[in-house]
């Protein structure tokens, strides 16, 4: 590596998984997720890798699951899969990326090219998919090693802090919406106006859909309308009744962490409609009688590939889809994470290096 690079770098390491009430801990067993800022050796990128100097890295709601040991991470661990930075070093075999390139890394961290899904070009469904910040260390550090095939090109004229969440939250809602086959001018209901939800409202509105936002907090009504929703349903209203008065939703996008809410809102779909689940809530019940007789669908969507991320960024630039973020330095990583864990963030925590 170049002599201008340091021999060590700072990383926000979690040494053991958390254990909270949400994951079955009894009051005397609660163990909050704790970060330790640690100096670790800087390794040169090997064939197939690129060393990235991190500029900004978002904290996703799924990081709460990851750092509580629910998604297969190995500890000690560095999380983070909403990464924007600059290429700092490449191996001698690298023939595409160059030092100084602005790049991004999202949930999808690499693929094998040879499994059935990869041969079909569905790289995000790779049977041995690598995941940034899960199967390998992520971007909550000053440097990160990322796989070359999973890097997205990021324009240099966008704010890395605002666009870092597009690498996961943004591409997840953008890419799923554009693959649901929703008729032009159809009604899309966004459930949960949070990190994913506030972006989903903006993307859906700019795609030409009629957007109805659904949330618990009445104070988010004005913001939701500003983001592009035509109507906001809060906890004091019956969401299913309101949706059905509007003719039913062609697609209900659930970003809120509630399986029971998914079960309930199935009845808010129009015939032939789709319930799109984008939150990790585990097993959830659905009425198969209604699914069959009304030709409904229940679907999920796993983020996207680098080209999907690049197109999500391009769409956001062209249509002013704006991620609302709270910025934190690396030294305040614990505070940044806690705002996600306790639900007080509005709407995304991003760590700036």
Distance CA 322, CA 340 (A): 19
Mean pLDDT of 203-208: 98
**What pLDDT does residue 2 have?**
52
Average pLDDT over all residues of the chain = 96
Give 21's pLDDT tier (boundaries 50, 70, 90).
confident
Which residues make up the CATH 3.40.50.720 domain(s) of the chain?
180-300
Could you tell me where the DSSP H helices lie in 211-351? 221-227, 239-245, 259-265, 288-293, 306-319, 333-341
**What pLDDT does residue 338 have?**
96
Give 1's pLDDT tier (boundaries 50, 70, 90).
low
SS3 content of the chain, % helix, strand, coil (to 5): 30, 25, 40
Closest CA to 191 of 263, 293, 287: 263
- Token duo for residue 153: 């090109």
pLDDT > 90? residue 20: no
Residues 6+ apart with CB under 8 A from 313: 104, 152, 154, 155, 158, 163, 166, 170
Fold of 180-300: Rossmann fold (3.40.50)
Into which CATH architecture does domain 8-168+304-352 fall?
Answer: Alpha-Beta Complex (3.90)
Closest CA to 64 of 128, 21, 108: 21
Which residues make up the CATH 3.90.180.10 domain(s) of the chain?
8-168+304-352
Distance CA 301, CA 169 (A): 12
Could you tell me how many residues make up the chain?
A: 353
Give 22's pLDDT tier (boundaries 50, 70, 90).
confident
């Amino acid at each position: 590596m170049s002599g201008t690079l340091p021999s060590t770098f700072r990383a926000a390491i979690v040494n053991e998984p958390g254990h909270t009430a949400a994951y079955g801990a009894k009051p005397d067993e609660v163990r909050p997720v704790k970060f330790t800022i640690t100096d670790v050796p800087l390794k040169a990128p090997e064939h197939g890798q690129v060393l990235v100097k991190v500029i900004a890295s978002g904290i996703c709601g799924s990081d709460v699951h990851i750092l509580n040991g629910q998604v297969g991470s190995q500890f000690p661990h560095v999380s983070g899969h909403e990464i924007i930075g600059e290429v700092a070093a490449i191996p001698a075999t690298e023939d595409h990326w160059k030092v100084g390139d602005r790049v991004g890394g999202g949930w999808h961290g690499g693929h094998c090219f040879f499994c059935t899904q990869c041969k079909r070009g569905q790289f995000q469904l790779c049977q041995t998919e690598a995941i940034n910040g899960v199967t390998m260390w992520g971007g909550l550090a000053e440097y990160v090693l990322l796989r070359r095939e999973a890097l997205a090109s990021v324009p240099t004229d966008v704010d890395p802090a605002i666009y870092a969440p597009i690498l996961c939250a943004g591409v997840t809602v953008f890419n799923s919406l554009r693959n649901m086959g929703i008729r032009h001018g159809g009604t899309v209901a966004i459930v949960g106006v949070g990190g994913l939800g506030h972006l989903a409202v903006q993307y859906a509105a700019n795609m030409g859909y009629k957007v109805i936002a659904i949330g618990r907090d009445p104070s988010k009504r004005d913001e939701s309308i500003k983001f592009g929703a035509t109507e906001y349903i809060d906890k004091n209203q019956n969401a299913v009744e309101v949706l059905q008065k509007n003719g039913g939703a062609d697609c209900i996008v659930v970003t809120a962490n509630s399986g029971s809410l998914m079960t309930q809102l199935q009845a808010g779909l129009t015939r032939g409609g789709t319930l799109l689940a984008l939150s990790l809530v585990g097993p959830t019940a659905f009425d198969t009688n209604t699914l069959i007789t009304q030709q409904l669908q229940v679907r999920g969507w796993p983020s996207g590939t680098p080209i999907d991320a690049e197109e999500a960024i391009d769409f956001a630039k062209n249509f002013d889809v704006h991620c609302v973020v709270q910025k934190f330095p690396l030294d305040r990583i614990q505070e940044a994470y806690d705002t996600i864990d306790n639900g007080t963030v509005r709407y995304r925590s991003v760590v700036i290096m």
